[in-house]
Structure 1
Amino acid sequence: MQQHADSYYAASANLALSYPPLEEDLEVDVCIVGAGITGASAALALAQKGYKVAVLEARLVGWGASGRSGGQMIFGYACDQSRLTQLVGMDTSKALWDISLEAMTLMRRRIEEHRIDCDLADGHLHAAVKPRHLTELEGWAADLRRHFGYDALELWSKQQVQQQMSSDAYLGGLYDPNSGHVHPLNYTLGLVRAAAEAGARFFEHSPVVRVEQGTRPVAHTARGRVRCQHLLLCGNAYLEGIAPEIERKIMPVGTYITATEPLGEERARELIRNNMAVADINFVLDYFRLSADHRLLFGGRVSYSRLDPLNLADAMGQRLRQVFPQLQGVKQQYTWGGYVGITMNRAPHFGRLNGNVYFAQGFSGHGIALTGMAGTLMAEAIAGSAERFDLFGRIPHHDFPGGRLLRTPALVLAMAWYRLRDRL
């Protein structure tokens, strides 16, 4: 039977949820494919509104990116806001910005309302590795202050960064006190539990093999099917083969994290004194934070080829010690990875097929809060208020070139250029 990835998160999960496979034919109001944060949030919002909801999960609830990510809750989108403004215009960009801030507020409210024990902590730093990064961060802060009224950001010098973090790797940074970090698997499991308590039915080990679109869509599994009025596709990078027309818009990209052994509170807080999450702004970036039991969780490597890097744990350890050389000799207890769905422009891809099939994908590694908002917006749209969900439909998206067989090698070549640029 399928298990969660061998990660620190799975080892420290605080809920043991289990749901049966689908072995019957169901009639529901809403069928949701995928039991990550997007699907669980949609199920929770819809069940609370009185809809009859079934959620089909191919493996285990929280098995995908929702349960194994870096857990960093960050303002905005994976593409910076000025790029989003270029794509959709200022008015729509402002509305989307407000939704990104609401996503973090919603996340905190659900954690409190449903008593989700997920190690929520405040604070996030975008860190500058090169002088040009400082200029870029200054531009972010000025744009968000001038056009979006966001005054919370603090530009930090190298000295200010070092006051909070024992590393010489960074020249400065952009600190946001409203962002933060969580244990992503425990957060996802808490949402699933809340949705189930509200009346949503979850089915694990029930991969959808075929979808019939139409006035009443049908999701088929090996042993059952669900007929519904509305179908939500929430599998993101793991939704391969279900809807080719949207699959072409995203690329599954491997990303990886390593967790040290427990360092002890004093040593851990010496590394990051204010317990913030940190990410640099290279295209192929490093990101890290402390866990509640005083480990360093460090993410950095990516794979655009769908092949895991060789000697992954050693490679991750080398990157970790470039940032924190004082951790030489510290053991790494867990190293794991998974796929995120990226779009060509790094903006999220939400929309509808035939009016009653909704999808949300392409969070591009920036989804811990936005995924919860995506599910909520889909629930709003089904309930008759589609204006906010449809804002995302204004973002233009293009297919990755080459189709399923050739898009991966094409992207590998493109990413080689970005890796070179990161070194300059």
Structure 2
Amino acid sequence: MNLLHLNDAPGAYPPSLYAAQAGPQPDLPPLQGDQRTDVAVIGAGYTGLSAALHLARQGLSVTVLEAQRVGFGASGRNGGQIGSGQRQEVDWLEAQLGRDMARRLWDLAEEAKSLTRALAAESGVPVRFGIAHACRTDPEIAHARHMADHLARNYGYDKVRPLDREGLAQAIGSSAYAGGDVDMGAGHVQPLELGLGMSRLARDAGAVIHERSEVTGIDHAPHAGQDSTVRTAQGSLRARHVILAANGYLGGLDGHVAARVMPINNYIVATRPLGDDFPEILPDRFAVADTKFVVNYWRLDHERRLVFGGGETVTYRFPKDIFATVRPHLLSVYPQLEGVELTHAWGGTLAITMNRMPCFARPAANCLSASGFSGHGVAMATLAGRLMAEAVAGQAGRFDAMAAVPTRAFPGGALLRGPLLVAGMAWYGLRDRLGF
């Protein structure tokens, strides 16, 4: 099943609020004929664009091959949250990997936020600070308070403020949750604008980006120092290094990665501009994510539209009515928005791993891959590009630190991902509905 074409028109952005706000984008012509480059990057999302930018600034020739448009995938469709830490919290990392490794991974994640904010600023894309985490149960609240204290005491991170039920209700304008916290070191951004901005920076640095250049196969060099060949329908690209940055749209380009990284879909709606209506909703313009497995996440944009993501499906095909899929989740948090017009609805494909930690790998002698950011990719995917650029330049220590985090293959590997998605999403959707 080719997710590049299952739900979207060829060469077109989805009907998202983000694409409407960005307006028409200049076409970057497809790869034509046989060419050569130092580094071939497959995928023009945050990971690939960051890699291209950092490699081009090192003076290497870089060619990015994008099957659709820049930012077409999860990078241009997500909730825009620049979260702190890794996808797994530091207590999990300490238990699984030890305190020293947990600290190293925390520091990398802090660098990821700083890098993302810096690239946004360089691109002229505004970032707002503050992400609230909404807990459903008292044990979740107790854990959130414990983690805020643990981060302050052991990691020197004192930007998380616990909130009781009343405090969270005032912060988000909803009484649907039992409490939580707000992280003032985290932030949020218009995600497609960020991707388009990174594309401009990469091209200004000398990288070449080809849109509508779907990769059909890779002939990896048998040894480092030799060229690989990346093939498209229109041409081929010889390169000394290959970077896989396609995330949930990798398809069959690499079986090792595909067995460990499973695509899943998620859906977002946007309201009309709320103007002065509903002033209780996010008065400080925090973004929010809750503790469901199939996470609800939302924020107000610069037009005071509520951009709300949530809802699961058990097939890879988007539902015919995304509005109807997401609306119940939105109204479960903000019943006062009953009857308020929803102007945009779209779906997107991200990718998860078994342990929710990203999968960094070396699929071949001259090939690097990073994917499976599990809903925590705005910052970490951007950092992944920098780490792969460092590895290409011979400084692989930080890439190898991320690659040392084990990522097991899903049962049945890539072959059974479809049935596993059906079973898993049905199970976790039921758990969320029952409040587990």
Task: Tell me which interval the TM-score lies in, with the shorter structure as reference length.
Answer: over 0.9
Residue 403 in structure 1 maps to residue 413 in structure 2: yes
Does structure 1 residue 172 correspond to structure 2 residue 179? yes
Q: What does the per-residue CA deviation read over 1:149-168, in whole Å, with 9 as the maximum and x for residues that have no partner?
A: 22211101111112222211
Q: Give 2:267's aligned residue.
A: 256
Q: Does structure 1 conserve the Cα–Cα contact (< 8 Å) formed by 2:86 and 2:105?
A: no
How far apart are the structure 2 equivalents of 1:234 and 1:311?
30
Aligned positions, number: 421
Tell me how far apart the structure 2 counterparts of residues 363 and 21 of structure 1 sit (CA, whole Å). Answer: 28
Correspondence for 1:139: 146
Which residue among 298, 310, 320 is the counterpart of 2:308?
298
User: How far off is 1:178 after superposition?
Assistant: 1.0
Q: Distance in 1 between matches of 2:272 and 2:64?
A: 36
1:52 maps onto 2:56 in alignment: no
Q: Please report how far the alpha carbon of residue 234 of structure 1 lies from its aligned counterpart in structure 2 after TM superposition.
A: 0.2
**Residue 377 of structure 2 is aligned with which of 336, 344, 367?**
367
1:192 aligns with 2:204: no
Report the CA distance between 1:270 and its aligned residue: 2.8
**Counterparts in 2 of 1:277 and 1:216: CA distance versus 1, 3 Å:** same
Deviation at 1:14, TM superposition (A): 5.5
Q: In the aligned structure 2, how far is the partner of 1:304 from the partner of 1:369?
A: 27
Alignment of 1:306-321 (within 5 A): 306-309=316-319, 311-321=321-331
After TM superposition, give the deviation of residue 85 of structure 1 in Å: 2.5
Report the counterpart of residue 87 of structure 1 in structure 2: 96
Q: Is the 8 A contact 2:257 2:361 kept in 1?
A: no
- Corresponding residue to 2:20 among 11, 23, 29: 11
Q: 2:164 aligns with which of 157, 170, 179?
A: 157
Identity among equivalent positions (%) equals: 41
| AA partner of residue 96 (structure 1) | L
Distance 1:213 1:2, change over 3 A: same
| 1:277-333: CA deviation from partner (whole Å, max 9, x where unpaired) | 000011122110001111000001123431334643123112211211111110111
Q: 1:372 to 1:401 in 2, by over 3 A?
A: same
Tell me which residue corresponds to 2:251: 240
Q: Deviations over 1:99-152 (max 9, x none)?
A: 10111111111222x2333x4111001111222221221232233234322221
1:378 to 2:385 alignment:
no
Contact 1:352 1:358 in 2 (8 A): yes
2:124 counterpart residue number: 116
Hey, what does 2:72 align to over in structure 1? 63
| Structure 1 equivalent of residue 359 of structure 2 | 349
Asked if residue 281 in structure 1 is aligned to residue 291 in structure 2, the reply is yes
d(CA) in 2 for partners of 1:405, 1:231: 25
Deviation at residue 8 of structure 1 after TM alignment? 0.3
Write the distance in 1 (CA, Å) between the matches of 2:323 and 2:103: 41
**Structure 2 CA distance for partners of 1:269 and 1:14, relative to 1, 3 Å:** farther
For 2:392 and 2:146, locate their aligned partners in 1 and report how far apart those are by CA, in whole Å. Answer: 38
Which secondary structure state, in structure 1, belongs to the residue aligned with residue 270 of structure 2?
strand
Aligned to 1:38: 47
Alpha-carbon distance, 1:267 to partner: 2.5
1:41 Cα deviation (Å)? 0.6
Distance 1:367 1:269, change over 3 A: farther
Partner of residue 346, structure 2: 336
SS state at 2:227 partner: coil
Distance in 1 of aligned mates of 2:113 and 2:62: 25
Q: 1:81–1:310: structure 2 CA closer, same or farther, 3 Å change rule? A: farther
Q: 1:213 aligns with which of 201, 215, 220?
A: 220
Distance verdict in 2 for CA 1:420–1:302, change over 3 Å: closer
* TM-score, with length taken from structure 1: 0.96
* Larger deviation, residues 14-23 vs 291-300: 14-23
Q: Does the 8 Å CA contact 1:15/1:186 hold for their aligned counterparts?
A: no
